[in-house]
Amino acid sequence: MPILISYPTIDPVLIAIGPFPIRWYALAYIAGLVLGWAYARLLVRSDFLWRGTPHPDEACIDDLLVYAAIGVILGGRIGYVLFYNPWFFLAHPDEILAVWKGGMAFHGGVVGTAVAIYILARRRGVSVLSLGDVCCAVAPIGLFLGRIANFIKPELWGRPTDVAWAMVFPGAGPLPRHPSQLYEASLEGVALFIALYVAIRLGALQRPGLVVGLFAAAYGVARITCEFFREPDPQLGFLFGGATMGMLLSLPLIAVGLFFIFRASRRVAALA
């Protein structure tokens, strides 16, 4: 038997105010949006990062907080309903709005946020790509906090394993499993944030669309990597060839990311 690390059971409800529970899950979304907003304001204030490239101002970032929140929630929920559990929600349409029970799809959130960015950029007369670069630069903050919330709940646990750091998750049966939520928090959150931060310091914001491309491609690779350790959603299981829905949805994200990287590189070369 492997030496197991005890799962640190944490009440998913931080505090209850009367009949209203305040959950870690909701706080992760709120904290991700607020911290991301603060970092985004710092990025657009730092003119040396842009070197004359037209970019959004702080007032635009203030609006982005609201637009992104709506895009993430609507897109994430619609994506989960359509891709991960359509038959359940077809039979229980009243559950579609019950987001406090969990069930958000990152890839749907990406689409929802992209639509929100496009609408805001057109209304404010700023570059869609530059606004998208700022949003993608701060996204790993929310991803990190969201995966930590998955761990606390707990949900989206890993596949059975005998590694020394395996855990037995409540509700997942007696088998020790990979703490895949922490793998995702590390790769999709910490590692991706650092990689994008370095790219920005090296001038990525001066090439509109480059940060968008780097984020999309790197996230896709990180997600596919983590999917090898994560238990697939029970209502879907493994798809053809042992692939999971998360893997399949990440492939077009990588393709889109490579397209934006190539496009940004060609545009800079043409201007040089």
How many angstroms separate the CA atoms of 117 and 139, rounded? 13
pLDDT in tens, 67-109: 998 998 899 899 889 888 888 888 888 888 877 666 778 888 8
pLDDT at 193: 98
> Which residue blocks in 53-126 are alpha helix, DSSP H?
58-83, 86-91, 106-124
Is the CB of residue 147 less than 8 Å from the CB of residue 184? yes
How many angstroms separate the CA atoms of 191 and 56, rounded? 26
The predicted model scores a pTM of 0.87
Find the mean pLDDT for residues 185-196. 97
How many angstroms separate the CA atoms of 144 and 260, rounded? 24
Binding site, annotated residues: 147
